[in-house]
């Protein structure tokens, strides 16, 4: 799929090297198709790495995707250059009058805080409320999924005794839902988090369905039955080395951290990590774009400014 991004976004060169078709505004206007408009609220500290991961994940259908990165005005990023944010991100107030086919809310390393203690949580709540009328479907990732379940359904997160960190096996529970079409009965996905959502709390809400879970890592994939919200408890967008970078970072800081589970061959952290989740991740993002975004959004919705 062609990804439409600004021509000087740093991720562009890497995507080109990976033979992922990217285009800028000039070329996009010559294609006689309506692009899918996706807004991404990137809450991860290393924003450029997350940009690359998400753009790569969105690149596996024949659809044209027009991506807008959204910044929060109540939070100052400490790990990404201000020049990068000013160049490639739009404040929420500047896009709040627009409609989008899809919205992605990423994870964030704030799980050990109560939601109300997070300095930008009020603004994030405004975005999630705005999404009810301005977005066809929202994909929530990791802490973003915990925050979404809390805001929309009042479902609380629970702190874990130790970090859930590694590649976990999951089992599909309902393959009739289009979001998981093409999934194997068993698949792998990365997790890196300090909190979880209890399955029984989710099942109290008949408007929600649990589609996949892990015996070791808990529920993984939850969807609102109308498709307006999708909650992914892990990080399917992670690349081969993301967990390794997190592991080495914490190890260098002297934090209590074990090597990621099921990640290194023979659990030997001197060996190259195995990439075992990419095919599932590609199917997940492609299904979301196709069945819950592209096939659901009326053309007039995107053309309407409210």
Q: 231 forms bridges with which residues in the sheet? A: 140, 222
The three-state secondary structure class of 137 is strand
Q: Is 51 a catalytic residue?
A: no
What whole-number distance in Å separates Cα of residue 241 and Cα of residue 233? 19
What whole-number distance in Å separates Cα of residue 88 and Cα of residue 46? 14
Radius of gyration of the chain from its Cα atoms, rounded to whole angstroms: 19
Largest pairwise CA distance in the chain? 55
Q: Is 94 a catalytic residue?
A: no
Exactly one of 152, 170, 235, 280 is catalytic; which is it? 235
Exactly one of 142, 152, 246, 280 is catalytic; which is it? 142
243's enclosing H/E stretch is: helix 242-252
The tokens of 226 are what? 């109308």
φ/ψ of residue 169, rounded to 5: -85, 135
Exactly one of 123, 196, 213, 237 is catalytic; which is it? 237
What is the distance, to the nearest Å, from the Cα of residue 121 to the centroid of all Cα atoms in its chain?
17
Q: Is 140 a catalytic residue?
A: no
The residues annotated as belonging to the active site are 142, 235, 237
């Amino acid at each position: 799929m062609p990804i439409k991004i600004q021509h000087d976004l740093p991720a562009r060169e890497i995507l080109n090297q990976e033979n992922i078709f990217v285009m800028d505004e000039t070329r996009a206007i010559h294609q006689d198709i309506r692009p899918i408009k996706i807004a991404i609220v990137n809450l991860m500290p290393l924003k450029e790495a997350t940009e690359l991961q998400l753009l790569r994940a969105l690149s596996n259908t024949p659809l044209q995707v027009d991506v807008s990165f959204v910044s929060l005005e109540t939070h100052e990023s400490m790990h990404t250059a201000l020049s990068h944010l000013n160049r490639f991100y739009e404040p929420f107030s500047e896009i709040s009058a627009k409609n989008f086919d899809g919205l992605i809310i990423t994870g964030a390393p704030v799980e050990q805080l109560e939601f109300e203690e997070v300095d930008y949580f009020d603004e994030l709540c405004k975005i999630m409320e705005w999404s009810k009328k301005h977005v066809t479907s929202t994909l929530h990732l990791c802490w973003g999924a915990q925050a979404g379940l809390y805001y929309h359904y009042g479902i609380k997160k629970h702190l874990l005794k130790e970090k859930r960190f590694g590649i976990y096996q999951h089992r599909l529970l309902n393959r009739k839902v289009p979001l998981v079409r093409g999934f194997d009965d068993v698949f792998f996905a990365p997790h890196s988090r300090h909190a979880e959502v209890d399955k029984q709390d989710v099942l109290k809400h008949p408007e929600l369905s649990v589609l996949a879970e892990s015996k070791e890592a808990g529920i993984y994939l939850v969807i609102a039955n109308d498709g307006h919200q999708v909650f992914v408890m892990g990080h399917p967008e992670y690349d081969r080395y993301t967990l390794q970078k997190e592991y080495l970072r914490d190890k260098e800081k002297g934090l209590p951290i074990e090597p990621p589970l099921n990640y290194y061959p023979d659990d030997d952290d001197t060996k190259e990590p195995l990439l075992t989740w990419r095919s599932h991740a590609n199917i997940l993002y492609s299904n979301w774009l196709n069945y819950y975004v592209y096939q659901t959004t009326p053309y007039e919705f995107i053309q309407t400014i409210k």
